[in-house]
Structure 1
């Protein structure tokens, strides 16, 4: 077995601290390597409504949820002060949490007047989504694809640096790259947003008629859940990330038969999916 996720931990108290990382099994690409375990962070989809009006869904760590809602409400100018938050009711699901927030009439009317101008700032890429069904969508599972040969991942970071032209000069851009069946970098797209970089790559691949099932795709950013969504919709065979995935990311990759590999800085590549 390559990857196993232990049962999820209940959130418990409404404002409980973040749970301990969960252990996830993986296998290194080294020949004869044993199955090992790594502690990965948890994440859930949090939907927030104000006085019954759906406002946003974002991916968050499942801890201190009430603190996040209070801070989000103040920092996004939904309320002027915590005095305008009258109540917070949390409903927990398997991979999500619904927060129903009651705020003052003044704040609610101001929110309705300005909600179109509100921009999400959590950095998760899902702010502004107004339904949990969109944050945790039903996706068509892929046909399993073979893993890329181990030698195609050797020196990957150096090869990415060579291909990432703008990133070398600015130091502030994410990149998404596709490597062909022979391990050669075919396309590289860069952007300040990790989701934008992957969208650019998907568009370029489809425009060029590149088979997404052949070879592998690399993201230089954190492998967040929404990147898994994009990879599955684009019918990728293998997604490689330079940052560790979360538990939920691994679960979704396994569920949809997407190969998921993490390439750490100093260790051999880790296969988290398939099982």
Structure 2
């Protein structure tokens, strides 16, 4: 059998490993060790049928499995995810899930069997309809102040231990309406981090109508699609959105904010949900 393609000694709680490096700085060379973010193939299957392989950080995998299943509309609620089995393989990790048979048949009908990348979870989708899946329009969403959003943003960096160690990961975070961070999940892939957050929020019964989402990445179409699918109505991204993401957010009733940083932010859709100052 072949050698391992990933290091199983990677701590599932830290998501990183130590590697020897040559550090060049100020004209000198130092032989040292550095923390490197783990990135491994994670295969997901439903009812024994392979569905997708994602490259992801091997931590918070229970959250990942549940969040992916919800944000991709494979299941409608956590109660439909009957079992989750996580197995270590030579080449990576396999997550086997059991769902109601009608749901499994719906997956087959969509004919979606994709190989995901850490940068794009839609790569390999076979049908245009699968890419442009339109979530239900959100009819209710909370309003927040700009001050609350920036309070959450200012506390986010310290809540990313994996990125502080490696400098290589994205985060998806959930804040309450007052700007207090409630949950953070990290991954080398921005959409993986979001799926992990969705799974964690669902497992902890956090109300998506009582807070807002923060992304340390750009707001792509898929990020808006996943968020709207699970009922998140307000997204603040540190980087820019794409035109297709703005179009989807507008049509789905999602408030989309980009360039959310210390010195300001840009509201692209449904600005009525942002109040500029605390009252």
Matched, 1:227 2:223: yes
Task: Give the aligned partner of residue 55 of structure 1.
Answer: none
Unpaired runs of at least 5, structure 1: 1-115
The CA deviation at 1:170 is 0.8
Task: Tell me the TM-score normalised to structure 1 length.
Answer: 0.54
Matched, 1:123 2:92: no
Q: Distance in 2 between matches of 1:207 and 1:270?
A: 32
Q: Distance in 2 between matches of 1:177 and 1:143?
A: 23
Give the secondary structure class of the aligned counterpart of 2:144: coil
Q: Distance in 2 between matches of 1:181 and 1:153?
A: 8
Can you list the C-alpha shifts for 1:44-87, whole angstroms capped at 9, x where unaligned? xxxxxxxxxxxxxxxxxxxxxxxxxxxxxxxxxxxxxxxxxxxx
Answer yes or no: is the 8 Å Cα contact 2:174–2:182 preserved in 1.
Answer: yes
Answer yes or no: is the 8 Å Cα contact 1:147–1:259 preserved in 2.
Answer: no
Matches within 5 A, 1:144-183: 144-183=140-179
Unpaired runs of at least 5, structure 2: 1-111, 272-279
The CA deviation at 1:123 is 3.3
Question: How many residues matched?
Answer: 160
Answer yes or no: is the 8 Å Cα contact 1:153–1:269 preserved in 2.
Answer: no
The CA deviation at 1:264 is 4.3
Q: Distance in 1 between matches of 2:165 and 2:234?
A: 29
Task: Give the aligned partner of residue 263 of structure 1.
Answer: 259
Matches within 5 A, 1:60-71: none
Question: Alignment RMSD, CA only?
Answer: 2.3
| Alignment CA distance shift 1:266-1:234 (3 Å) | same
Q: Distance in 2 between matches of 1:269 and 1:223?
A: 13
Q: Distance in 2 between matches of 1:180 and 1:266?
A: 19
Can you list the C-alpha shifts for 1:92-132, whole angstroms capped at 9, x where unaligned? xxxxxxxxxxxxxxxxxxxxxxxx99846693321121000
Q: Distance in 2 between matches of 1:244 and 1:145?
A: 22
Q: Distance in 2 between matches of 1:216 and 1:240?
A: 8
Moved over 6 A (4+): none
The CA deviation at 1:146 is 3.3
Q: Distance in 2 between matches of 1:144 and 1:202?
A: 19
Task: Tell me the TM-score normalised to structure 2 length.
Answer: 0.53
The CA deviation at 1:145 is 1.6
Answer yes or no: is the 8 Å Cα contact 1:173–1:193 preserved in 2.
Answer: yes
Matched, 1:199 2:195: yes
| Alignment CA distance shift 1:151-1:129 (3 Å) | same
Q: Distance in 2 between matches of 1:249 and 1:154?
A: 22
2:247 to 251, 256, 275: 251
Can you list the C-alpha shifts for 1:222-246, whole angstroms capped at 9, x where unaligned? 1110111100111002111001101
Task: Give the aligned partner of residue 273 of structure 1.
Answer: 269
Task: Give the aligned partner of residue 87 of structure 1.
Answer: none
Give the secondary structure class of the aligned counterpart of 1:271: strand
